[in-house]
C-alpha cells in the first residue's frame, strides 16, 4: 500500500478515481471543481444534475468521462468558520466516504485534492493532518480492500511540503 504526495494538476492523473472538492449543488464552480468539469467535458455536468446535490461531508460518484480517471467522487467539504462548527468531523467524513466508494467500485488507485483548503478556507496544515490520519485509519480498518495507491495531489509546493512531512512521520 502506497500513500504519496504529488505536485500535480489532479485532472491529469491516471488513477481509477479522483476526488472533487465540490459544493452542495454539485453543479460546478471554481478551483479544482472548475478544472475537473473543464477536463471531463459537458457530460460530467449532465451526470451531476441527476444526483440532485449532496450534503456537506458526503460524497457522490460519477464517471470520469474525458478524464484519464474512470470515476470522479464529488466530495462536499465544510466551509471553514472557526473550528467549532464540526469542520474537522465533516472534512474527515469526506475522506472516509470517498474511500468507501473506492472500495465499492474496486478502485486500485485514488487521488485526493486538499479538500476545503481553497475557497472554503480550511487551514491547510490542519486539513492535511486530518486527510492523512483519516486515510491511514480507514485503510487499516479495511485490510482486504482493493486499493493499492492513495495520492494526495498538491497544487503548490507549500502543500507538497506539508503532506510530505506528514507521510514521512511514521
Beta strands in 48-96 (DSSP E): 59-63, 71-76
Q: How far is the CB of 110 from ligand AR6 (least distance, A)?
A: 14
Distance CA(22)–CA(46), nearest Å, equals 15
Residue 164 interacts with ligand AR6 (CB under 6 A)? no
In the set 9, 16, 33, 88, the catalytic residue is 33
Cell 498538491 belongs to which residue? Answer: 154
Nearer to ligand AR6, 51 or 119 (CB): 119
Among 65, 71, 73, 120, binds ligand AR6 (CB under 6 A): 120
Q: Which of 16, 19, 33, 98 binds ligand AR6 (CB under 6 A)?
A: 33
Query: What is d(CA 50, CA 129) in angstroms, rounded to the nearest whole number?
Result: 33
**Is 88 one of the catalytic residues?**
no
User: Which lies closer to ligand AR6 via its Cβ, residue 18 or residue 147?
Assistant: 18
Distances, alpha carbon 13 to alpha carbons 72, 77, 92, 150, in Å = 12, 21, 23, 12
Cell of 131: 486527510
φ and ψ of 113, to 5 deg: -85, 175
Could you say which of 15, 16, 17, 23 contacts ligand AR6 (CB under 6 A)? Answer: 23
Active-site positions? 33
Contact set with ligand AR6 (CB under 6 A): 9-11, 21-23, 29-33, 35, 77, 113-120, 153, 155, 159
Amino acid at each position: 500500500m502506497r500513500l504519496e504526495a504529488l505536485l500535480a494538476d489532479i485532472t491529469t492523473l491516471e488513477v481509477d478515481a479522483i476526488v472533487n472538492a465540490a459544493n452542495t449543488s454539485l453543479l460546478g464552480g471554481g478551483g479544482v471543481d472548475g478544472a475537473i468539469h473543464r477536463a471531463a467535458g459537458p457530460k460530467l455536468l449532465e451526470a451531476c444534475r441527476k444526483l440532485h446535490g449532496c450534503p456537506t461531508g458526503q460524497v457522490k460518484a460519477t464517471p470520469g468521462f474525458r478524464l484519464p480517471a474512470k470515476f470522479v467522487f464529488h466530495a462536499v467539504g465544510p466551509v471553514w468558520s472557526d473550528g467549532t462548527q464540526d469542520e474537522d468531523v465533516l472534512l474527515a467524513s469526506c475522506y472516509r466516504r470517498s474511500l468507501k466508494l473506492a472500495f465499492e467500485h474496486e478502485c486500485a488507485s485514488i487521488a485526493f485534492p486538499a479538500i476545503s483548503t481553497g475557497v472554503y478556507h480550511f487551514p491547510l496544515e490542519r486539513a492535511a493532518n486530518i486527510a492523512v490520519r483519516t486515510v491511514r485509519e480507514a485503510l487499516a480498518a479495511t485490510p482486504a480492500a482493493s486499493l493499492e495507491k492513495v495520492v494526495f495531489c498538491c497544487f503548490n509546493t507549500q502543500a507538497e511540503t506539508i503532506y510530505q512531512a506528514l507521510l514521512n512521520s511514521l
